[in-house]
Amino acid sequence: MARIAVVGSLMMDLVVRARRPALPGESLIGRSFATFVGGKGGNQATAAARLGAQVTMVGAVGRDPFGETILASLAAARIDTRFVRQLDHEGTGVAVPVVFDDGSNLIYALPRANLALAPADVEAVRSAIEAADLLLVQFEVAPEATLTALRIARDAGVRTLVNPAPVAPHPPEVFRLADLLIPNEVEAAALSGLPAADPAAQAAALRKLGPAAVIITLGERGAFVHAPDGDTCVPAPAVNAVDTVGAGDAFCGALAVRLAAGDPLPAAAAFACRAAALACTRRGAAASLPTLAEVEEFTS
Ligand code: ADP
């Protein structure tokens, strides 16, 4: 069974729906409210676990009810949560997306415990990373913690996947320690300084930062794979997408599972495209992530 370590964010999403944005000073009655376990780290860990991988999560929450809810959600997906720290001095990260009738949204994100994850916390659980086939990180926790995780993995010969989402200043060493960099189109443009119209040029520029290979996700167009032995475009299956939030997380989690199992990059990317497309056909968070049987049965 593929063993994956995820060092990343854990957040509670508090989703408000409202007719329109409130004006300054106005109190507007909203339409609905719902909470979802989120954070790119937790989402990608859950995506991988639902596809059958043995997943260890490293991260931080507060010692509060949101933290308990997140830990319970991860445990329900059979993720090893022994290395998630519960901090006394900082609360669980929260995001407050406000979604309006016209489909636009505003998001207030408070990373809280995620930014309090210290290099020493990661160092203390080094064995969790060393025991994995593959390490998966994103850009939602303290950059020094991510860097520490990547150094441990590199020293132990553990393959590293870096999803630079959302783009935030990180030490250049983070890119040098990435075996595979997985940005979406927006992130690839921001990191390469090149327009989204040319993923081949973007990927070539990103490889110069250090990673041996780059996969740029292209939404409904699939993924562009740039590896030492050549470029490949992997199309996304055509689906009736009802909710594309978290598609990138479904993609990264699935990709990690197949790479840890030994698949070559294009085959792993094709599997990840199928898993992410399936996730787009369903609303919701963790529950919309497909199982291995569902991806295997899925033909578009
Ligand atoms: P993010 O969610 O980070 O913005 P993308 O939009 O690039 O990332 O989506 C990630 C992956 O999810 C894509 O590479 C693709 O495989 C899949 N995907 C996203 N949107 C669709 C869609 N409308 N139809 C099918 N697959 C999709």
> What is the Å distance from ligand 1's center to 217 Cα?
7
3-state secondary structure 65-133: HHHHHHHHHHHHCCCECCCEEEECCCCCEEEEEEEECCCCEEEEEECCHHHHCCHHHHHCCHHHHHCCC
Q: Establish whether 88 is a catalytic residue.
A: no
> What is the Å distance from ligand 1's center to 223 Cα?
8
- The SS3 call for residue 239 is coil
Residue 245 confidence (pLDDT): 86
Amino acid at 223: A
User: How do residues 70-90 score in pLDDT, each as one tens digit?
Assistant: 999 999 999 999 999 999 999
Residue 300 confidence (pLDDT): 64
- pTM (2 decimals)? 0.96
| Protein residue with least CA distance to atom 10, ligand 1 | 248
Rg from Cα positions in the chain = 18
Which of 105, 233, 251, 274 should be mutated for ligand 1, with most atoms under 8 A from CB?
251
Q: Which ipTM was obtained for this model? A: 0.99
Residues of the chain with pLDDT under 50: none
How many Cα atoms within 13 Å fall on the side-chain side of residue 67?
20
In ligand 1, the atom with minimum distance to the C-alpha of 273 is 16
138 Cβ inside 6 Å of ligand 1: no
Which of 232, 244, 265 should be mutated for ligand 1, with most atoms under 8 A from CB?
244
Beta strands per DSSP E along 235-289: none
Beta strands per DSSP E along 172-300: 180-181, 213-217, 223-227, 230-234
254 Cβ inside 6 Å of ligand 1: no
